[in-house]
Structure 1
C-alpha cells in the first residue's frame, strides 16, 4: 500500500512555523499593493501546488507551499480586519456626517469603567463603556447598522450595567489619536478593542435607558456579581489598598491613584496590576492544587480548573489580556487531559494562532506581544537550564530567578518600542512582589467571594489581605526608589528588534552546532545599528510641527546636530500628559539625546504643559522665555526645576539676535519691554499678545514662529519696523478669526504656512475667514488637525515638505 509522509515532517513542532508564517502575513499585509481577490486567487493556486507536491511525495515542497498559503491567508485576514464587512458598518460613516449630535441605540457590552474627575479644565466624573450599536441616526434618518462605539457619560447619576439597552444623542468621531512619526496608532488600537466610533454624552432628555434585555443572560448575572464585589471591597478597605486589590483580583483600575501606578511602573512590576497570565495561572494553580489535595483524578481536576478559569475570566471583566491568559491556561490543561502537556511550545503557538484568527490586529497590540515574548522566553530558559538536580528550596529560588531574567530579556525590545522604558531592578523586584501578588490574588478572590455572603466581611481575613496588599505596595515603593529603577530607551527600529530576537534565539536555542559565528555576527550587526543611530546627525536642517492637538510644539534639528523645541503642547484634561505620551516619544523615536534649547512662547497650558516631561527626561542646555508673569502651577514648577538643575534661563526681548550655529541666527521680534498692553486687556489676550515671536534664518530658509499673537500683537510687529519676511510661517493663534490679518500676511509674504490646531476643537480653529485670507495670498497651508505632523527639510538648497498623514494611509481614514 502506498503511504504518503506527513505534511510537516521537517518540523518537530508544526504549529510554530504555521503561526510564524501567518504572523508575517499579518505584518506585511499593509505593504502589499495587491487587491484581496488577487491574493485569494494566488492562495488557491499555491494550495493547489502544495496538493500536487504532496501527491508526488515531495513533503518539503508541500510544506513550503502550505506555509506560503498561510502567509497569504494572513495578508487577507489583515485586509479583512481593517475593512469590516457590512454596507452600514460604523467604520464607513463619513467624518463629515459626525459634526453634530448623532443618535445611537444599542446594548452595553462591557463592564462600565468609572473615571474619576481630573484637576484641569475637564473636571467631570465619567462612566465609559462599549456599546454594540444597532441603529444610528444621521441627519434625521435612521439606519440599521453594526459595529461598536465607546461612549462616555459625563457627570452620570444613573447606574449603567452590562446588557442595558441605551438610546441617546452623542458627540462622536472616528478614533484618531496623535499623528506623529513613531506615535501610538490609536485607530488600530480602537479596532483591536472593537469600537469604530467614540464620543460622549450627558444625561437628560437626550439619553434614555430602555431596559436590560440585551447581551447574554448568564453574563448579566456575572456582571452584577462583579459590581457587588467591587462596591463591597471599596466600602470595606482603605482607598489605596482597595484600589490595588480591585485591580489585581477583578481587573478594575479606576481606584488606582497616579502615585500607585507610578511606583509599580518604575519598579518593573506594573503587570501584576493588570489581570493577565500571572493572575489567571496562579488561580488555576490554586484550583488544581485543591483538586489534587482532594485526590481527584487528573482528568476531573483539569476539567474543574478549566471551568473555574472560565468563570474567573468572566468575573474579572473579560478584557483581552484576561482572555489571552485564560485561553493559554485552558489549552495547556486540555493538553494535559489529552496526554500532551509536555509540549508547551505547540500549546503556546496554538493559543497565539487562535487569538490571531479571532482578532488579527492583536498582533500589533503591546499586551499580546509582551505576553507571548515573556512566556516563550521563560519556556526556553527553563528548558535550557535544567535545575532538577538542585535541592528543592534552592531550586525554586533559582528557577524563579531564571524565569524573571528570561522574561525581562524577552520583553526588553518590546518595552523599548512601545513604552521607551525598561526596569533595571525588575528582575529582583519580581522575585519579591510577584509571590506577594500571588498571595494577594488568591486571598483577595476568596475575600471577594466572602463579601458576597457577608457584607462586612470577616475581620481576620480582612486584616491579612490588607497587610499583604500594603506590603506589596511598600515593596514596589522601595524598588522604585532605587537608582536606575527605570531607564528610558530610544525607540528601536523593526530591524533592531528582529536582530535582537535572532541573537537571543541563537543564544538560548541549540538551532545548530557551531552557532558561535552566527551569534557574533548578529551581535555585531545589532551594535552597528545602534551605533549608526547614535551618530551625531548633520547635513540637514529639519523643522517638524508636531500634532499635539489644540496646542503648539515645534521641533527644529539644525545641520550641526543641535536641536530646539518651541513649546510642548497641552490638553484640557490633566489626566493625559501630552509631553509624556506624545512629545517625548517623538524625541525618543528620533534618537534625540539632548535638547539644546527649549523655548516657551508664553505660559499657557496648551504651550507649556508638555515641557514638563521633556525637562524631566532629556538633558536641556537652555530655556528661553519672554518672562511674561504667570501663577500657573506648571509654570512655577518650571521656574523651580530650571533653578534646581542649574539650566540657563534666558528672558528674550525684542531685537535680540542669537547665533546657534553655522548659518543659523535667531532674532526675537516680540514682545517689547515693557510688555505690550492690548486694548482689550483680558488676561488671556494679554498673554497671547505677549508671545515670544522668533524669526529663524537658516541660509535659504526663513521661519517665523509667532506663538499665539492675535491681531493687536501682529499690528505691534508691523509698527515696529522689523523685517518679517519669511518663507515658512507658523500661523498665529491656531488660525483664529482675530489673527492673520491681511496686512500681516502682506508683511510676511510666506510661501508655506502651518496651522497647529486640534481635530474638531471647540474653538472652531482655524476659522474659515482666516483660511480665505491665506488662499487669497496664494499661500500653501498645512494643518496638523488634518495632515498630522508636518516636516520641512532643507538639503542642498532645496526645501521639501511631507506630512504624516501620507505615511498613515488607511489609518488616516483614506
Structure 2
C-alpha cells in the first residue's frame, strides 16, 4: 500500500524539515530540504518505478523547504525574543488566534474545578505570542478579536514558533467584536454547558470536554483518572469527534436518498461548522483536511484511500504551521490514524481467519493498534505507560459516538428550545456516566500504570520494547518464555501493589504527599492511625490516596496554611472520608470565596473551625507543633487580592518529631520570610518544606537560617510557573541540604537517622496534566 502512495516520501520530508528546523534551527530545515530535492532528482533519473514519488518529492520538497525556512528564520530572529530574555514590559496590539485554554495549576486563588488563569494564543507584532492572564475577562475572548495587552515579556518554551510569553497586567483593552461566526460558536458552547447542568456534576463537566474540548467545568478527579487509564484523548476534542459528526451527517443524507454531490457538500459543511465550534485544534485540522480530501473523492466519484489523504494532510498543514511537526496532539492524531490504516486491517483479517465475527474483529483491534503506535509518544510526554488503556478504551469506545452525536444535537437545539436540548443531554447522560465509571475503575486497577523514562529516550526505548515484543509474539518458543516471565512478574508485583508492601516505611515522621501543584503534608503522632494533615492539595482525590497509603484513619487537626486553591482543594473529601477533630485556619480569611467554601465544607461535616495564632502549641505523643507566623496580617490586600499578600500571610509551623524539627513554611515569599528573620525566632530545623513549591521568591538568608539537612519540594510535574527555581535548589544544595521533589520522586517520607533525618521516596510520581 505504501509503494502505491507516491506522496508519502514528500510528507515524511516535509515533517522532517519542520521538526529539524524547530529543534536545531532553520539552517537544518534548509539542509534537509536540499537533501530531499537532490534525492528526488536522483531517484527520478535512476528509476521509472519511483518516478511519481520522486517528482512529488522534488516539487513539494523545494516549495516546503523555502516556506518553512523563511517562517522559522523570521521566528528565530524576531526582536521580541531578545526583549523577552531581558523581561521587557511591552504594550502590544494582538489578534486572538485560538480559544483561551484554562490552566488549573492554581495556587493563586483560583476556584476548585475551574481555572485561575488562561493561556491565550495570539498573533501580534508579526509573531506568535502566548498571553498568560487571569481568567476574568481574558477567558471570555474569542478568536478573531483584536485587543491591547500590556505586560512583562518572558521567554517562550524552546523549539516552538511562539517568540515570547506575555504575562498580562490588567484587563484586555480596546477589544473589537469577534467575527459573527465565532460569536455564534461561543454562544453554542455556552448553551451546551448550560444544558449539561441537568446532569450530575461529573458527567456535566465531561460532556462539553468530550464534544467541543471545553474542560472548564471538568472535575479534577475525573481528569486524573482519565490520565491514569489512558483515556485523556476523550477530554480533548479530536479528529474522532469530527469524523463522528461528519459520518452521522453523511449517513443521514444518504438515508434521504440524496446523491453523492449533496452528501459530500453537506458533510463538508458539517465539518467546517465543527471546526469553528470546537476550534482549530491540531487533531481536528488533521481530520478536517483528511475528511475534505475524502469528500472531494466522493463528489468526483473517485474514492480516496485513507493513507494518501493522511500524507496530503501533512503536506498541506505542516508548511502552513511548521509548529505542528513537534505538536503532540498532531503527532498522536496522525500516528493513531496511521495505525488504524496500516495495522488494524491486517490484525482484523487474522482474527476473522480464526473465526472472530466480522465487525467484532475490527472493534477489538482498533484500540490496540492505535495505542501501540501512540504509546511511545505518550510515554515520552508523561513518563509512564498505561497498562489498562487498551481495555479501558475498548470498553468506553461504544458510547463515545452516541454521546457525541446527542451532545452536538443538544448544542444546536439549545438556542431553539431549552427543553429539547435538556432532553438530548439527558439521553447522553448515561453514556457520560459510563465513561466516568470506566475511567474510575481502570485508574483504581493495581498496576494501572508503569513508570517509564520520559523524553526522547523514553519514547525510543519503548519503540525498541514494542519491536522486541512483536518478534517474541512471532516465535512460539519465545511466546512461552515471555508468558512465564509475565506471570512471574505479576506474582511478585501485583501483591506488592495491592498490599502497598514497602510503603509507608517503618517509623516515618512526616510525609510530603505527591498531590501535583499543591501542598499536602502528613505529620505522624504516636498512634500510627492518627496524624495531623497540613494542607489538602489542589483536588479531591490525590490527598485521599496518600492518606490511605499511609494507613491513617483519624485526623485530630487539619491545618490550612492559607486559603489558596492548591491548599484547600481536597478539604471536602478529607472531611467526608475521615474523622477530623478540627480545621485550623490562620487569621487572614482571604480570598473570600475560599473562606466561604471552607466554612461550608466544615459545617457540612460537623467539624469546628479554630483560629490559629502566633505562639499556639499542640502536643500529641511523639509530636509537638508550634505556630511561628504570621506575626502581622496586612490590613489590605492592595492591588493583588489573590497572590503574594496571601502567600506571605501563610501559617508557618514547626513540628518537633522523632526525626527532628520540621519547618512547614506554607507559601511564604520574600516579605513573609523577612518578617520571620526579623522576629529573632529560632528558625533552625532539620527538615524544610521548601516555601511556595520552590519558587524563586525565597531569601538566601532565610534558607541559611533554617539550615536544613534535608528538604522536600511539593511541586507538580509540568507546571507553568517554573517551579522549583534552579536558584533555590542550588542555594540549598550548596549549603549541604539533600533535596527531593514530589514531581520526580512521588510521596516523600521523613525518617529518623543516626546523625540526621533522611528521606525515603515512594517513587511513583503523578503524571503531569494532559
| Superposed CA offset, 1:378-404 (max 9, x none) | 2222244338989x9953333222223
Displacement after TM superposition at 1:281 (Å): 0.8
Partner of 1:577: 517
Partner Cα separation in structure 2 for residue 45 and residue 429 of structure 1: 44
Residue 301 of structure 1 pairs with residue 253 of structure 2: no
Task: Report the equivalent of 1:475.
Answer: 434
Report the CA distance shift for 1:20/1:605 in structure 2 as closer, same or farther (over 3 A): farther
**Matching residue within 498, 502, 505 for 2:463:** 498
Instruction: Verify: 1:146 aligned to 2:127, yes or no.
Output: yes
3-state SS of the aligned residue for 2:131?
strand
Are 1:690 and 2:658 an aligned pair? no
What does residue 597 of structure 2 align with? none
Q: How many angstroms apart in 2 are the aligned matches of 1:685 and 1:127?
A: 22
The 3 A distance-change label for structure 1 pair 227 and 116 is farther
User: Hey, what's the Cα distance between the residues in 2 that align with 1:762 and 1:46?
Assistant: 39
In the other structure, the counterpart of 1:202 is: 170
1:740 aligns with one of 693, 701, 726: 701
8 Å Cα contact 2:94/2:147 also seen in 1: yes
Instruction: Tell me how far apart the structure 1 counterparts of residues 8 and 510 of structure 2 sit (CA, whole Å).
Output: 46
Shift of 1:197: 1.3
Provide the rounded CA distance (Å) in 2 between the counterparts of 1:375 and 1:779.
Answer: 50
The one of 91, 96, 100 aligned to 1:103: 91
Aligned residue in 1 for 2:669 = none
The question of 1:395 aligning with 2:324 is answered no
1:164 paired with 2:168, answer no
Look up the match of 2:5.
13
Call closer, same or farther: CA 1:224–1:676 in 2, change over 3 Å: closer
Cα distance 1:782–1:28, how it changes in 2: closer, same or farther (>3 A)?
A: farther
Cross-structure match for 1:181: none
Q: Does residue 333 in structure 1 map to residue 325 in structure 2?
A: no
SS in 1 for 2:701: coil
Residue of structure 2 aligned with 1:489, choices 450, 455, 459 = 450
2:75 match = 85
For 1:371, which of 333, 336, 357 is the aligned residue? 333
TM-aligned CA distance change 1:482 to 1:21, over 3 Å: same
- 1:26·1:77 contact (CA, 8 Å) conserved in 2? no
Over 3 Å counting, the alpha-carbon distance change for 1:491 and 1:284 in structure 2 is same
For the 8 Å contact 2:21–2:29, the answer to whether it is kept is no
Cα shift at 1:471:
0.6
Task: Report how many aligned residue pairs link the two structures.
Answer: 631
Q: Any residues of structure 2 matched to 1:110-189 within 5 Å, and which?
A: 110-112=98-100, 121-123=109-111, 128=118, 130=120, 132-134=122-124, 146-156=127-137, 160-175=141-156, 187=157
Distance 1:760 1:338 in 2: 48
Moved more, 484-493 or 57-66: 57-66
Alignment check: 8 A CA contact 1:378 1:406 kept:
yes
Residues 439 and 707 from structure 1, CA distance in 2 versus in 1: closer, same or farther, beyond 3 angstroms? Answer: closer
SS at match of 2:169: strand
Look at both structures and tell me which one has the larger radius of gyration over its CA atoms: 1
Provide the C-alpha distance between the structure 2 equivalents of 1:695 and 1:70, rounded to a whole number of angstroms: 66
Aligned-pair CA distance for 1:291: 3.2
How far residue 38 of structure 1 moved from its aligned partner, in angstroms, is: 7.6
CA distance in 1, matches of 2:302, 2:540: 55
Cα distance in 1 for residues equivalent to 2:186 and 2:397: 26
Instruction: Give yes or no for contact 2:213–2:237 (8 Å, CA) kept in 1.
Output: yes
Deviation readout 1:455-505 (Å, 9 max, x if unpaired)? x3454x642x23332111231243245366551221242332222454577
SS of 2:120 mapped into structure 1: strand
- Residue 58 of structure 1, CA deviation: 8.7
Contact 1:46 1:69 (C-alpha < 8 Å) held by counterparts: no
Where structure 2 has 5 or more consecutive residues not aligned to the other structure, the ranges are 494-507, 522-530, 562-567, 580-621, 634-647, 666-672, 746-770
Q: Distance in 1 between matches of 2:338 and 2:90?
A: 46
Q: In the alignment, is the contact (CA less than 8 A) between 1:130 and 1:151 conserved in 2?
A: yes
- How many Å separate the matches in 2 of 1:20 and 1:518? 37
Give the CA RMSD over aligned residues. Answer: 6.4
Distance 1:711 1:50, change over 3 A: same
CA distance in 1, matches of 2:328, 2:138: 35
In the TM superposition, what whole-angstrom CA distance separates every residue of 1:586-619 from its partner, at most 9, and x where no partner exists? xxxxxxxxxxxxxxx997659x879985994899
Q: Match of 2:176?
A: 211
CA distance in 1, matches of 2:414, 2:690: 60
Alignment map for 1:722-741 (pairs within 5 Å): 740=701
Q: Compared with structure 1, are the counterparts of its residues 288 and 127 closer, same or farther at alpha carbon in structure 2 (3 Å cutoff)?
A: same
- Cα distance in 2 for partners of 1:17, 1:518 equals 38
Distance 2:480 2:74 in 1: 44
> Relative to structure 1, is the Cα distance of residues 15 and 605 closer, same or farther in structure 2, using a 3 angstrom cutoff?
farther
1:112–1:129 CA contact under 8 A, matched in 2: yes
1:430-445 aligned within 5 A: 430=393, 433-445=396-408
Within-5 A mapping of 1:647-726? 688=652, 690=654, 711=677, 716=682
Residues 75, 730 of structure 1: CA spacing in aligned structure 2 closer, same or farther, 3 A cutoff? Answer: farther
On the 8 A contact 1:413/1:497 being kept in 2, the answer is: yes
1:229 paired residue among 184, 188, 209: 188
Alpha-carbon offset, residue 637 of structure 1:
10
**Alignment partner, residue 291 of structure 1:** 253
Q: Is the 8 A contact 1:378 1:403 kept in 2?
A: yes
Q: Which residue of 219, 243, 261 maps to 1:281?
A: 243
CA distance in 2, matches of 1:436, 1:31: 40
Partner of 1:178: none
- Does the aligned pair in 2 maintain the 1:730–1:753 contact within 8 Å? yes
- C-alpha spacing 1:674/1:402, structure 2 compared with 1 (3 Å): closer
Normalising by structure 2, we get a TM-score of 0.61
In structure 2, distance between residues paired with 1:72 and 1:617: 56
User: Do the aligned partners of 2:133 and 2:169 also contact (CA within 8 Å) in 1?
Assistant: yes
TM-score by length of 1: 0.59
> How many angstroms apart in 2 are the aligned matches of 1:38 and 1:118?
39
Cα gap change, 1:293/1:505 in structure 2, threshold over 3 Å: closer, same or farther?
Answer: farther
SS at match of 1:97: coil
Equivalent in the alignment of 2:369? 406
- Unpaired runs of 5+ residues, structure 1, are 1-8, 135-143, 176-186, 215-219, 509-514, 535-562, 571-575, 584-600, 645-671, 697-703, 791-814
* Distance change (3 Å), C-alpha of 1:74 and 1:506: farther
Q: Relative to structure 1, is the Cα distance of residues 502 and 437 closer, same or farther in structure 2, using a 3 angstrom cutoff?
A: same
Query: Is 1:358–2:320 an aligned residue pair?
Result: yes
